[in-house]
Amino acid sequence: MFGLDGPEVLAADSLGLIRGMTDSVAAFDEARAAAEAVELPWPADVITDVAVCGMGGSAIAADLVVGAYRERLRVPVTVVRDYYLPGWIGERTLVVLSSYSGGTEETLTAASQALERNCPAIAITSGGKLGSFYASEGVPVVPVPPGLQPRAAILRMLVPLVVLLHRLELAPSLVPDLEEARSTVASAVSTLGPQVPETANPAKQLARELQRSVPLVWGAELTAPVAVRWKGQFNENAKVPAYASVLPELDHNEIVGFSGMPAPLSELALLVLLRDPRQHRQVQRRFDLTRELVEPHVARVLSIEAEGQGALARMLDLVMLGDYASLYLALLRAVDPGPVEMIERLKQRLAQTGYGRSPDPGA
C-alpha cells in the first residue's frame, strides 16, 4: 500500500504545497496586517455595494467570505467571474480586484471598466499588471507575496476581504471571527499536517477513501462555497474529476439524474456531504432524505460536519480538511500536486491575442 507518512513522500510535491500549508497561520497574520495597513481613499459611507472580480483560486476566496457572512452583510456583495462588469456597478460600488498573479485577463478587463466607471477600486494581488499599472492609476493594493500557486494563497486572498468588510463597516463584529478562524487554521495544521501519521490524521484517511473515486461534493448555505473549493482542489491538486452541487437546489433537478447513473459511474461516484450544525432545519432534513434516495446509486457516501463557533472558523475547518485531503490524494495517485499545466497552457494560448473589449454587437 502506498504510504503517506515520512518526509520522503513529500518529494513528489515539487512546489512544496504541502510544506507551505505549515505556514498557514503566518499567512493569515501577514494578510490581516497587510489589509489593515492599506490606505482606503474613500469614506466608508460612499459604498453601497461590493463586487469582487476574480477567477479560480482568487474568486473562491470571495465566495467563501460571502458564504460565511451572507446573513450579516449590510450591503450586497457579488462575485464577478467575467470579462464584463454587470450594468448596475457604478460610482458607489466598491470593486475589489482579486487576482493572485495580477495578470488574469478577465479580472484586468473588469479592472479597466471599473476605472472607466469611476468605481472605488482596490486590488489584492502579488503583482502583474494589477500591481503595477492599476496601482499607478491610484488603485490601492493589498500586497500578497509572489511565488505561490493562487489556490495555495487562499488565506492571503480571503483574510483581506474580511478585514475590508470590517474596516468599511459592511458587516458587524468580524474581529472575534478572525481570532477564532486563526485558531482553527493553527489547529488544522497541527492535526492534519504531514507530520501526523495516517492512523491519526483525518485528512490522510479521507484521501485514502477518495482514492479511485470521482468525488461529488455537496454543500448548503455556509458549506456551499466550501463544496466548490473542495471540487477545485481535487481538480487542481489531485488532478481528478470532481463535481460540486448545492442543496436545496440539487433536490429540484440533480437528484433525478441519479436513477439513470451508468454503472461505471455509479461504481466510482463517492458522495461527500459537507454539513454544518447551524444549517436550516429543513436543509438538515434534506441532507438526510436526499442521501437515502441517492445512496443506492453511488459507491459510498461520507458525511463531514464543520466544527467551530463562528462562521469563518466553521468554514475554514472544512476548507483546511479538503485542502490537505486533495494534496494527500495527489501523493496517493503519484502525481505532483503543484503544477497545473492545463491551465498554464490555456492561458498561454489565450495570451497570443489581445483581450480588450469586443466590438459592441449593437453598434
Given the complex with ligand PA5, which of 140 and 146 has the nearer CB atom? 146
Mention every residue, 6+ apart, whose C-beta is less than 8 A from residue 298. 216, 258, 261, 266, 269, 270, 271
Which residue in the block uniquely carries the three cell numbers 463535481?
243
Nearest to 57 by CA among 124, 118, 128, 112: 124
Mention every residue, 6+ apart, whose C-beta is less than 8 A from residue 71. none
Question: Residue 129 catalytic?
Answer: no
Given the complex with ligand PA5, which of 201 and 235 has the nearer CB atom? 235
Give min distance, CB of 106 to ligand PA5, in A.
8
Which residue in the block uniquely carries the three cell numbers 518526509?
7
Give min distance, CB of 131 to ligand PA5, in A.
11
Given the residues 180, 231, 236, 239, select the one marked as catalytic.
Answer: 236
Side chain identity at residue 92, one-letter code: R
Mention every residue, 6+ apart, whose C-beta is less than 8 A from residue 277. 305, 306
Give min distance, CB of 124 to ligand PA5, in A.
10
Given the complex with ligand PA5, which of 293 and 346 has the nearer CB atom? 346
Mention every residue, 6+ apart, whose C-beta is less than 8 A from residue 146. 126, 127
Q: Render 274-342 in DSSP notation, one character per residue.
A: EE-TTS-HHHHHHHHHHHHHHGGGSSEEEEEE---SSHHHHHHHHHHHHHHHHHHHHHHTT--SS--HH
Given the complex with ligand PA5, which of 24 and 149 has the nearer CB atom? 149
Are the CB atoms for 214 and 270 separated by under 8 Å? Answer: yes
Given the residues 71, 252, 267, 341, select the one marked as catalytic.
Answer: 252
Given the complex with ligand PA5, which of 100 and 287 has the nearer CB atom? 100
Tell me which residues touch ligand PA5 (CB under 6 A). Answer: 55-58, 99-101, 104, 107, 149-151, 236, 340, 343
Question: Residue 252 catalytic?
Answer: yes
Cell of 178: 478572525
Give min distance, CB of 153 to ligand PA5, in A.
8
Give min distance, CB of 231 to ligand PA5, in A.
12
The single-letter DSSP state of residue 133 is I
Nearest to 105 by CA among 359, 360, 351: 351
Given the complex with ligand PA5, which of 79 and 220 has the nearer CB atom? 79
Nearest to 356 by CA among 109, 123, 184: 109
Give min distance, CB of 239 to ligand PA5, in A.
12
Between the alpha carbon of residue 184 and those of residues 24, 75, 170, 178, 307, the distances in Å are 11, 27, 24, 10, 9
Given the residues 30, 105, 198, 347, select the one marked as catalytic.
Answer: 347
Question: Residue 105 catalytic?
Answer: no
Residues labelled as active-site residues: 236, 252, 347
